[in-house]
Structure 1
Amino acid sequence: PGGNDVRRWRHRMLLILLLGMPAGCAGIGRERVTTPGGTTIEAGVPLPTPEEEGGSAQALPVLGPSSTLEDYLAYAALKNPDLKAAFHAWKAELEKIPQVERLPDPRFTYAYFIRNVETRVGPQRHKFGISQLFPWFGKLRLQGDVQFEKAEAARQRYEARKWRLFYEVRKAYSAYYDLGRSIEITKENIALLDYLEQVARARYQVGSAGYADVIKAQVEQGVLADRLRTLEEQIPPLAAELNAQLNNPLDFPLPIPRTVPEEVLDVPEAQLFAWLADSNPEIQALAAEVRAGERRKELAEKRFYPDVMFGLDYIETGTSPADPPENGKDPIVAAFSLNLPIWRESYRAGVRQALEETSALRLRRIERINLLGARLKTALFNYHDADRKVRLYRNTLIPKAEQSLKATESAF
């Protein structure tokens, strides 16, 4: 009996070891991932946040009168909550990869014989079992591929949100700058009209000008004063629009920008359209979803093949009073099972579903390329039109206006 106890404990230890083995060898996870900032990290290591990815040296810029557009863009990239949400959504998709690439948890079973099964070598009392399900070859890899492409789509959506944020910040920053310049120019015009009104009043007093000239100057003064009041009242809403992108309180005091960068487009239009199709993050996100759909179709085809389960059962057996040979010997049973994939039409429907979903994604990608191409055409027209107007005002209208002002001053 002492030998039987030793053997029984050895069998139990073997069962415990078998129970722990699949946890360490159950997956085929990817080894490295690269973040949008170019940081390479090991699988299973938490991704850095957008702030951490920029490094400790990338502190939050202080927005003051001398701040540039680049300072505002860096500030928004570090604080905008929607951009952070897109980053964490991508991070969450990445964390799903090791989950879908792992084997299912092993199953441990225990059975107690309410009525002992009497055998030649003794009564059977307890049964312990361990089993592991192994999906058909390639299923785990395809599940990982599908989730990897979903994570890539989330990464591209994060990139798209970042560029959209930069566009919104540039737009609000430029509008805020334009407002500041309009206020400065209006104040200069008011000062000029004050001077002309004084000149007209002096000429009226000496009889060299009519009172209508004085009234005209005073009317223009009132119009400009009202315009200045309107412009100054636009400061809070425009500042609030910029603060919204920066995740600041809406009434946070932002100084009016002093400069705005003048950007020159020196890239051929054909190159811009090529970049649109190859590098636009919205289109790349749809391309990743198409690849995920193709992998889902392959995964659906794997349902035609069975999953296999291997198991091991250990039965604890008591001793028999008759003391036969191998008295109290505990049997060990190897088990094998598989599911029977007999519902073929259901599996074919799954394949067809994956094909239809992938076709829809391909068409959506084409539609997005067409829509963004049309928007690029409009943006190029607006750019060239604005560039033409800048040259018109700089080279023709402003010099003519200065000549007209000098002539008016001479006439007065």
Structure 2
Amino acid sequence: MKQLSRNIKLCTVLAVFGSVLSMNAQELDEFIQQAIMNNPEIYKVELQYNLSSEKVNEVNTLPNTEFGLGYFVSEPETRTGPQRFKVSVKQMIPWFGTITARENYAKSMADAEYEDLVIAKRQLVVSVSKHYYKLYALHAKQNVLDENIELLETYRTMALNAVETGKGSAVAVLKLQMRENDLKKQKAVIKQDITSEQASLNKLINRDSGVKIKIPKVLELPDAEMDSISPNLDMHPELLKYDKLYASVAQSELVNKSESQPMLGFGLDYINVAERPNMDFSDNGKDILMPMVSVSIPIFNQKYRSTSKQHTLKQQELKAAQQNRRNTLESLLQKAIADRNAARITYNTQKENLDQARNAEKILIKNYETGTIDFNDVLDIQELQLKFQLQMIEAVTNYYIQTTNINYIAS
């Protein structure tokens, strides 16, 4: 049953981010499922929720039953005989509805803890997705650097041929070689970043940091936005939590009012009486049985009045905090939308620039056939191509990261 509950919660979280997952490889979906099932932080929050749920059983109890036993060292004499010992039992009972109010308060706190679990899972989805996209960016940059290194090697061969025919300078060959060395250095640095990013993603899944992660070679931007954004922030778990905390304070006030009422007590005293010697009458040695009723009245109730005032102030605080968080989420949503739009604009602009740079490269290659190539221009064009390619990768990565942020807030 517990496993079924975990699977239902998992499906709910994945449904929230379905629009992100549908755009990407199946691997991301699998990573998210593994992370939600294995992440120790999620397990910790889930245990906290189970602990809060168990408190419902804790409050569903009466006060301790009091038992007493007394022995008369000096036995008092009565008409029916001397009293030898006394046994008593007493049970206090809270005012009507107090236990129910306590149960409702414990349930309301458990409901608030559940929202923490939902929030933790949604945040984990965001973290896994962002590491995944960053890892994609690093691999994509590495592939671009490989392409550019191969291109520079071709240019260097052309430059050497030009030097041999007396149509080029050895300096151009050295510049191309230095540029190639710089790209190899960048590739080596990216390799270290991949190792670090891969370890971070693996640890979110709670597995060995060295496990290889399969990343798609290419992530394309969708032709248009998948759907219009019409957020219903009232249903966002970060805001729902404040509603449930507000309700828990209301339940706590009901408990406070119930506890400010009298408590009733029911008890029974039994007194053992010994027989009087050398006497014969009907009640000789008759034990005493005395039922009792008591009332505990909170005459000094300043404590309860103060608690009621605290509850009112706490509810006002929660409303203010909820509005502040709502404002923050709305601001973050607008920023994420703007950044995603900017990423698309950047991608389209740099794609156009890259096409133009490649056209310029073709012109340079044709010039080489006529013996008029300038390898300084070659380096400039190569640097521009690399710049545009890297910016396109960053734009794609940022687009999907901002989509993840939008889905966290707006879904």
TM superposition score category, shorter chain reference? 0.7 to 0.9
Change beyond 3 A, Cα 1:70–1:225: same
Distance 1:261 1:151 in 2: 43
**Map 1:350-369 → 2, pairs under 5 A:** 350-369=307-326
**Equivalent in the alignment of 2:31:** 72
Q: Are positions 1:223 and 2:182 aligned together?
A: yes
3-state SS of 2:72 partner: strand
**Equivalent in the alignment of 1:209:** 168
Deviates more, 1:340-349 or 1:157-166: 340-349
**Equivalent in the alignment of 1:241:** 200
Q: Are positions 1:344 and 2:301 aligned together?
A: yes
Structure 2: gaps spanning 5 or more residues: 12-24, 369-411
Residue number among 328, 340, 360 corresponding to 1:404 in the alignment: 360
Distance 2:189 2:74 in 1: 94
**Equivalent in the alignment of 1:332:** 289
**Map 1:4-403 → 2, pairs under 5 A:** 39=5, 68-250=27-209, 252-258=210-216, 265-269=225-229, 271-272=230-231, 274=232, 276=233, 278-321=234-277, 322-394=279-351, 396-403=352-359
Checking the alignment, whether the CA contact within 8 Å between 1:300 and 1:347 is kept in structure 2 is yes
Change beyond 3 A, Cα 1:127–1:54: farther
- For residues 61-84 of structure 1, the C-alpha deviation after alignment (integer angstroms, 9 at most, x for no partner) is xxxxx9711121122112211111
3-state SS of 2:83 partner: strand
For residue 265 of structure 1, report the CA deviation from its aligned partner.
Answer: 4.8
For residue 167 of structure 1, report the CA deviation from its aligned partner.
Answer: 0.8
For residue 168 of structure 1, report the CA deviation from its aligned partner.
Answer: 0.9
Checking the alignment, whether the CA contact within 8 Å between 1:300 and 1:354 is kept in structure 2 is no
For residue 143 of structure 1, report the CA deviation from its aligned partner.
Answer: 1.5
Which residue identity is paired with 1:305? Q
Distance 1:388 1:329 in 2: 101
Which residue identity is paired with 1:268? S
Distance 2:38 2:220 in 1: 23
Distance 1:223 1:134 in 2: 82
Q: TM-score, normalised by structure 2?
A: 0.78
Relative contact order higher in (CA < 8 Å, ≥ 6 apart): 2
Distance 1:75 1:111 in 2: 64
Structure 1: gaps spanning 5 or more residues: 1-33, 40-49, 56-65
Distance 1:346 1:105 in 2: 23
For residue 199 of structure 1, report the CA deviation from its aligned partner.
Answer: 1.4
Distance 1:331 1:267 in 2: 83
Distance 2:253 2:201 in 1: 45
Deviates more, 1:296-305 or 1:281-290: 296-305
Distance 1:67 1:350 in 2: 53
For residue 92 of structure 1, report the CA deviation from its aligned partner.
Answer: 0.7
Distance 1:387 1:307 in 2: 69
Checking the alignment, whether the CA contact within 8 Å between 1:200 and 1:214 is kept in structure 2 is yes
Change beyond 3 A, Cα 1:111–1:122: same
**Equivalent in the alignment of 2:385:** none
- For residues 80-117 of structure 1, the C-alpha deviation after alignment (integer angstroms, 9 at most, x for no partner) is 11111111111111111111132223222222222223
Deviates more, 1:75-84 or 1:152-161: 75-84
Deviates more, 1:204-213 or 1:326-335: 204-213
Which residue identity is paired with 2:195? P
Distance 2:295 2:221 in 1: 69
> Percent identity among equivalent residues?
23
Checking the alignment, whether the CA contact within 8 Å between 2:10 and 2:33 is kept in structure 1 is no
Change beyond 3 A, Cα 1:185–1:268: same
For residue 53 of structure 1, report the CA deviation from its aligned partner.
Answer: 8.2
Distance 1:290 1:404 in 2: 65
Distance 1:206 1:220 in 2: 23
Which residue identity is paired with 1:289? L
Checking the alignment, whether the CA contact within 8 Å between 1:177 and 1:256 is kept in structure 2 is no
3-state SS of 1:255 partner: coil
Distance 1:404 1:133 in 2: 93
Checking the alignment, whether the CA contact within 8 Å between 1:93 and 1:154 is kept in structure 2 is yes
For residue 247 of structure 1, report the CA deviation from its aligned partner.
Answer: 2.6
For residue 198 of structure 1, report the CA deviation from its aligned partner.
Answer: 0.3
Higher helix share: 2
Change beyond 3 A, Cα 1:82–1:262: farther
Which residue identity is paired with 2:313? E
Q: TM-score, normalised by structure 1?
A: 0.78
Checking the alignment, whether the CA contact within 8 Å between 1:67 and 1:257 is kept in structure 2 is no
For residue 52 of structure 1, report the CA deviation from its aligned partner.
Answer: 11
CA RMSD of aligned residues (A): 2.7
For residue 353 of structure 1, report the CA deviation from its aligned partner.
Answer: 1.4
Checking the alignment, whether the CA contact within 8 Å between 2:10 and 2:36 is kept in structure 1 is no
